[in-house]
Amino acid sequence: MKKVAIVCAAGRQGTCLVNEAVSRGYDVTGFVRGGDKVANPKAKTVVKDLFELTREDLSGFDVVIDAFGAWTPETLPLHRTSLAHLCDVLSGTKVRLLVVGGAGSLYVDPEHTVQVKDLESFPDVFKPLANMQGAALDDLRKRSDVLWTFLSPAGDFVADGERTGEYLLGGEEYFVNEKGESRISYADYAIAMIDEIENANNIQKRFSVIGK
């Protein structure tokens, strides 16, 4: 039985990941801040801030999933610093690090020179977040000492969307389904993330997922 740690497990995406991993029979531990709790009673709960996590805290796991999220101007830089901390903690170990990423850093051209966040149609309100998540991914690409995987969702990432159990996988480039949509629910995204634990197809790579 794989042992999976989910960091920031009390958030909406973290909760979906906990539920999906528990449903597969994994031994799941959710790390949360004080005042938060893991909703699924079949998962263990550890109350400890991400920045206080040590190598000892995470050494017994096969996989660590980083579901950290920040949205205010003051906290956006934490996307980079929190990921750097987790990488330093896991450096040189066999523990995989799977990261909940964003869609803004996906490329829209074969040469990989233009990203979704660079387009004029990209909403200004989301650009600071997309830029910071993109910078975090750039930092991650420089780490050869960590077994990282970064999963970018569809452009329309729906928190309360239904769990269909179906999805389409892509790579570094933005793509759409047969309906011309780039959309996926948090629940279906969680399926793709947990499937990656089982398949291990994208170690030290970024890949992407959308709904069918």
95-104 pLDDT tens trace: 999 999 999 9
- Domain encompassing residue 112: 3-210
- pLDDT tens digits along 9-31: 999 999 999 999 999 999 999 99
35: pLDDT confidence band, cut at 50, 70 and 90?
Answer: confident
Cα 158 from Cα 49, distance rounded (Å) = 26
Residues of the chain above pLDDT 70, percent: 100
Domain containing 183 — which CATH number?
A: 3.40.50.720
Confidence at residue 36, expressed as pLDDT on a 0 to 100 scale: 82
Query: Confidence band (pLDDT; 50, 70, 90) for 5?
Result: very high
Phi, psi (rounded to 5 degrees) for 131: -65, -40
| pLDDT the model gives residue 21 | 98
Domain count, the chain: 1
This prediction has a pTM of: 0.95
Per-residue pLDDT averaged across 190-207, rounded? 97
Spell 127-163 as b/e; 16+ CB within 10 A means b: eebbbbbbbbbeebeebeebbbbbbbbbbebbeebee
Task: With cut-offs at 50, 70 and 90, classify the pLDDT of residue 134.
Answer: very high
